[in-house]
Structure 1
């Protein structure tokens, strides 16, 4: 079956998501390593992706780790520097699909409250035809329920969906349901896949 909709993950597909790189710049690699280890900051963030409130969760985490209070609050106060920069080639591919009237969705592990902050910073995040944001849905990839929700909501057969994500476990969960998948490694590989699927021409995919 031909692909009838393209589904983008956001982190490391449309926007770079490497918070370690941000903290390496701000506080240095050795201090960043200690910070991540002692505060379990990534586990905190997973809770936000799953639906916990953005500011409240970060403030509470900072109170639990007073020695790292300022560094933890950067997760909130400097969010758009943390989740950056845009991956320009991927953004152009999104725009090209829109020009060709291909339905484009996002399925992303992203907090309900910080996603609008990123949308205000990156206009292209406002251009999807359908939004499946884990923090809103209170479900997180690779939980099978979030993929089932996408299928039910959009009304398309699993084999009509083409999904790009940078995490193998998320791809595997989608593929198990019959979705077409692309393990995103770089924008050129994704461009090549969109051309191969007949969704873009080579000139559109640069």
Structure 2
């Protein structure tokens, strides 16, 4: 049984959330299809190049550099308007928020639980999220593009811990990628591998951050 489950007193001072596939949904098929049509290259080639160049983009290279590198990989000669279109469609594709996780964030905020965001994200997505109502309850937003570091590098977690002023064992972390969760655990952080809203609520209830009556609050999507 997790600490805090019996007493209702939490052993956690702050919860740090990933964004992609935790707060947001995966880019929907219709968004991906729009990008494929605009790119005008085989879909498999596009997505292979997209992910191959993504780490540098998350570390802070410009959109023009990133999409230029993707174009070179797929043998395309995209003009500036096409580069802009790919950038805009990509940013928008990551902004579809999960209703169940948004509800959890609302509950935590109402209870005064400290929370923060830690996301591997390029500049364009980070800029959009800074204006998002879903981010309003977070104490701090940490983006890889600002730090020049990406999960699962230990230094990015250490930066967050120092900025929040919390000990690893008093910090919870939620992410959908196993390698990011394992990296956090190696530092002593109480990390949860996100697999859906129900499991997330159970994790937070187990640490005394939500009540058991909240277990039915989110509607999984």
Normalised TM-score (structure 2):
0.80
Please identify, of 13-22 and 105-114, the stretch whose mean Cα deviation from structure 2 is larger.
13-22
How far is 1:31 from its partner?
A: 3.6
2:142 corresponds, among 132, 154, 161, to 132
Name the CA shift for 1:19/1:141 in 2 (closer, same or farther; >3 Å).
farther
1:123 corresponds, among 112, 133, 150, to 133
Name the CA shift for 1:8/1:68 in 2 (closer, same or farther; >3 Å).
farther
Q: Distance in 2 between matches of 1:139 and 1:19?
A: 27
Report if the CA contact (8 A) 2:12-2:169 is conserved: yes
Confirm whether residue 56 of structure 1 aligns to residue 64 of structure 2.
yes
Report if the CA contact (8 A) 1:15-1:85 is conserved: yes
2:121 corresponds, among 106, 110, 133, to 110
Work out which of the two has the higher radius of gyration on C-alpha atoms and give 1 or 2.
Answer: 2
1:22 corresponds to: 31
1:43 corresponds to: 52
Q: RMSD of the alignment, in Å?
A: 2.5
2:154 corresponds to: 144
Q: Distance in 2 between matches of 1:27 and 1:135?
A: 25
How far is 1:143 from its partner?
A: 0.5
Q: Distance in 1 between matches of 2:142 and 2:202?
A: 25
Q: Distance in 2 between matches of 1:81 and 1:67?
A: 22
1:86 corresponds to: 97
Residue by residue, what CA displacement relative to the aligned partner does 1:116-157 show, whole Å, maximum 9, x if unpaired?
Answer: 12343x311233101221111111100111111112211111
Q: Distance in 1 between matches of 2:159 and 2:96?
A: 30
Q: SS state of the match for residue 107, structure 1?
A: strand
Report if the CA contact (8 A) 2:173-2:190 is conserved: yes
Structure with greater proportional helix content: 1
* Count of matched residue pairs: 201
Gaps of 5+ in 2: 4-10
Q: SS state of the match for residue 10, structure 1?
A: coil
Q: Distance in 2 between matches of 1:71 and 1:127?
A: 36
Normalised TM-score (structure 1):
0.85
